[in-house]
Amino acid sequence: MSLSEERRIGRHAVLLVLNSEEDMLHKLNWKSAIGKVGSMESNKVVAAIETAAKRNKIINSDVYREAHALYHAIMEALHGVTRGQVQLGSVQRTVGLKFAILRGNPYENEVEGEWIAVALYGTIGAPVRGSEHEAIGLGINHI
């Protein structure tokens, strides 16, 4: 039931979003997508990730259970970025984020099946150039 050392989906998602050289991701044969979104509207961040996941066939857009799994992974990742209330413009701040989405089987035991990870990395701050610091978030869900 334990996590596979070389298939830690969250670690891979974070390294992917950080654009860190290290990828052993190729040999895993997992579905992945990366993208960018900058906005003061938190719903636009959610929508951008959902759209990328659907376009890249990471989730099947005709199946709600897959959209549901993704949605909660996104919301959890946003908690890491927003650290308290999942709000951007309504508390006078904005984000510039890269995101990575991964779908794969991170557990040793086959029966654990597929999981989805959403990693976010970028900056959060005032709507003034340079008035920002980094933020990260990771959401993981079974799919």
Binders of a copy of itself among 88-117, rule CB under 8 A? 89-93, 98-102, 104-109, 111-113, 115-117
Within 3-32, the residues that bind a copy of itself by CB under 8 A are 3-4, 6-25, 28, 30, 32
Dihedral sign from CA coordinates of 104, 50, 88, 131: positive
How big is the site for a copy of itself, counted in residues (CB under 8 A)? Answer: 99
CA angle 21, 22, 28 (to 5 degrees): 130
Instruction: State the nearest-atom distance from the C-beta of 121 to a copy of itself, in Å.
Output: 4
Within 42-61, the residues that bind a copy of itself by CB under 8 A are 42-43, 46-47, 50
Distance separating the N- and C-terminal Cα atoms of the chain: 16
Taking CB under 8 A as the rule, does residue 134 contact a copy of itself?
yes
Residues 6 or more apart whose CB falls under 8 angstroms from that of 105 comprise 7, 30, 112, 113, 114, 115
